[in-house]
Amino acid sequence: MEVWADNMLINYVNYLNFLNEKLRKFFASQKPYIFCDKGCARCCKNAQFPYSSIEVTYLLAGFQTLDRYTQQVIRSNIQKTVNDKKIFDGEKFLYDCPFLINDVCAVYDFRGVVCRTFGLLSQGNDGRIKVPFCCYQGFNYSNILDMDTKKLSQEKIDKLHLKEEPVAFNVSYEFLTDPAFEYKFKFLFGDKKPLIDWFLDK
Ligand code: SF4
Ligand code: SF4
């Protein structure tokens, strides 16, 4: 365990490299259904962004590499979002990620697990298939979406005559942050909560 503690961040980066390679293959296999535009940052907005302790530590290591002006913009974004959260009175506080500047992630190489998986058709531990929300806005998988039923259409899939089938991978946050990965790569995710909650009361 002590050896783990010494190498925790290095081991987490090894896990990220493993994850990146898996995701690279998943995205490549789904290419005909993926329409991520450069500059599209819809998945970085209006959400909660679950982050574990080690993911935040690594994200902040990325923050330290930024120039002072960019750091200041992010600090001010964080403060504004924290203030908004403190006066929020609803059930689920949604916000734009404070690390997003002019629709570009300022800490891209250091981003968390959920940021890496977004845009794929996914299947959770409960077996439910989840379509990315941008599908309904004309982006990923929208070419096989039946707008009336809001479900993927086998008819549309057949009409495309593609060799690549749409596949729902188990890329849920719950699965990808499972203790099995902690044991395999020898690190701990730690507590998990919405990204902005890590900055409350700081
Ligand atoms: S960390 Fe980067 S990729 Fe993740 S939500 Fe924020 S801006 Fe988007
Ligand atoms: S996953 Fe969807 S929302 Fe995110 S960048 Fe791609 S097209 Fe945009």
Distances, alpha carbon 33 to alpha carbons 121, 150, 184, in Å: 9, 16, 32
Work out the number of other CB atoms within 10 angstroms of the CB of residue 152.
18
Report how far ligand 2's centroid is from the alpha carbon of 141 (Å): 11
Domain total of the chain: 1
Task: Give the 3-state secondary structure of 151-194.
Answer: EECHHHHHHHCCCCCCCCECCCHHHHCCHHHHHHHCCCCCCEEE
The DSSP 8-state label assigned to residue 37 in this structure reads: P
Work out the number of other CB atoms within 10 angstroms of the CB of residue 36.
15
Report how far ligand 1's centroid is from the alpha carbon of 105 (Å): 5
Q: Which residue's CA is the closest to the ligand 2 atom numbered 6? A: 36
Q: Which residue's CA is the closest to the ligand 2 atom numbered 4? A: 43
**pLDDT tens for the chain, residues 1 to 202:** 445 666 999 999 999 999 999 999 999 999 999 999 877 999 999 999 999 999 999 999 999 999 999 999 999 999 999 999 999 999 999 999 999 999 999 999 999 999 999 999 998 778 888 999 999 999 999 999 998 898 899 999 999 999 999 999 999 999 999 999 999 999 999 999 999 999 997 6
Q: Which residue's CA is the closest to the ligand 1 atom numbered 2? A: 105
The confidence score (pLDDT) of residue 37 equals 82
Question: Tokens 């899939």 sit at which residue?
Answer: 157
Dihedral, CA of residue 11, residue 170, residue 96 and residue 105, to nearest 10? 50
Q: Which of 42, 103, 115, 195 to mutate to test the pocket of ligand 1 (most atoms within 8 A of CB)?
A: 115
CB 12 within 8 Å of CB 75: no
For 37, what's the count of Cα atoms within 13 Å in the CB-facing half-sphere? 9
Tokens representing residue 26 in the block = 């998943």
What range does the domain containing 194 cover?
2-199
CB 200 within 8 Å of CB 27: no
Report how far ligand 1's centroid is from the alpha carbon of 110 (Å): 9
At 129, is the secondary structure helix, strand, or coil? strand
The confidence score (pLDDT) of residue 202 equals 67
The confidence score (pLDDT) of residue 1 equals 44
